[in-house]
Amino acid sequence: MSGRKGLVVLGNGGHAASVAEAAESSGFEVAGFIEIGAEPAPLKSLSSRVRGLDFETTALAIGVGTNFLRAAIHAAVSSEFPAASFPPIVHQTAWLSPSAEIADGVTLLAHSSVGPNARLGLGSLVNTGASLDHDGELGDFASLGPGARTGGNVTIGSRTMIGLQAGILQGRTVGEDSVVGAQSLVLQDIPSLSVAVGSPSRVIRSRERDERYY
């Protein structure tokens, strides 16, 4: 291995490949992937595979796009392996304002943008071409889908997913564990545990925290 720090991606699907490429572009050397396994018990075999890693030389990244599952993986690994680290990963083509604050485990994919004074929580994800504008907040393990955009001063709750090419008007809030559908336009606040779709968006039903959205 070269002088670059090693990284192992937890997950082996398409999103894991995107995370790995972002990591490589930002200076990590990706040493491999660990398969998570199929639901309903995706974490059963994870422990034994992670146990053999040297956490002094190897960091971890979560290559799973589903927000609640990403949060569960992080919680399980961090609890059993307190020495494990989940550094932020910022693709070399992403724009990250010098005044923005990002937590551990944040991933910014290619051509994404994070504006001045924005705050990104633990394990949050800004997908390809998505942007969080100035003073925005993306909660723990929340995500902006490819091409999704926000105005300034937008707050997005933990584990909430904003779908592909959706837009959120400035100053609006989307609560925790909600889903905003692809190409929706959010003009009003969205409560927690909701599914909202359309342009303008409207809440069509409630949802469970661990409900799949794709």
Whether 1 is covered by a domain: the verdict is no
* Full residue range of the structural domain in which residue 45 is found: 6-80
Clarify whether residues 75 and 95 are in a common domain. no
Whether 12 is covered by a domain: the verdict is yes
Whether 214 is covered by a domain: the verdict is no
Whether 95 is covered by a domain: the verdict is yes
Clarify whether residues 73 and 139 are in a common domain. no
Here the CATH number for the domain that contains residue 100 is: 2.160.10.10
- The model's pLDDT over 63-83, given as tens digits with 9 standing for 90+, comes to 999 999 999 999 999 999 999
Whether 208 is covered by a domain: the verdict is no
Clarify whether residues 193 and 108 are in a common domain. yes
Any residues with CB less than 8 A from the CB of 150 and at least 6 apart, and which?
131, 132, 133, 136, 144, 156, 162, 167, 168, 170
At residue 42 the predicted structure's pLDDT band, cuts being 50, 70 and 90, is: low
Clarify whether residues 65 and 44 are in a common domain. yes
Whether 207 is covered by a domain: the verdict is no
Clarify whether residues 108 and 195 are in a common domain. yes
Clarify whether residues 144 and 167 are in a common domain. yes
- The residue from 22, 57, 80 where one domain ends is 80
Q: What is the pLDDT of residue 49?
A: 85
Any residues with CB less than 8 A from the CB of 6 and at least 6 apart, and which?
28, 29, 30, 31, 57, 58, 59
Clarify whether residues 154 and 195 are in a common domain. yes
Beta strand 89-90 pairing with 95-96: unpaired
Whether 213 is covered by a domain: the verdict is no
Clarify whether residues 107 and 168 are in a common domain. yes
Q: What is the pLDDT of residue 36?
A: 83
Residue 173 tokens read as 């809030």
Any residues with CB less than 8 A from the CB of 203 and at least 6 apart, and which?
190, 191, 194, 195, 196
CA dihedral 188, 189, 193, 196 (to 10 degrees): 20
Does the pLDDT value for residue 40 go beyond 50?
no
Here the CATH number for the domain that contains residue 28 is: 3.40.50.20
Cα Rg for the chain, rounded, in angstroms?
A: 17
Any residues with CB less than 8 A from the CB of 18 and at least 6 apart, and which?
63, 109, 110, 128
Clarify whether residues 68 and 129 are in a common domain. no
- The model's pLDDT over 121-165, given as tens digits with 9 standing for 90+, comes to 999 999 999 999 999 999 999 999 999 999 999 999 999 999 999
User: What residue spans of the chain are helical by DSSP H?
Assistant: 14-25, 46-51, 67-80
Task: Tell me the mean pLDDT in the region 195-205.
Answer: 97
Clarify whether residues 76 and 131 are in a common domain. no
Q: Is the Cβ–Cβ distance between 167 and 173 less than 8 Å? A: no
Whether 57 is covered by a domain: the verdict is yes
Number of domains in the chain: 2
Task: Tell me the mean pLDDT in the region 173-199.
Answer: 98
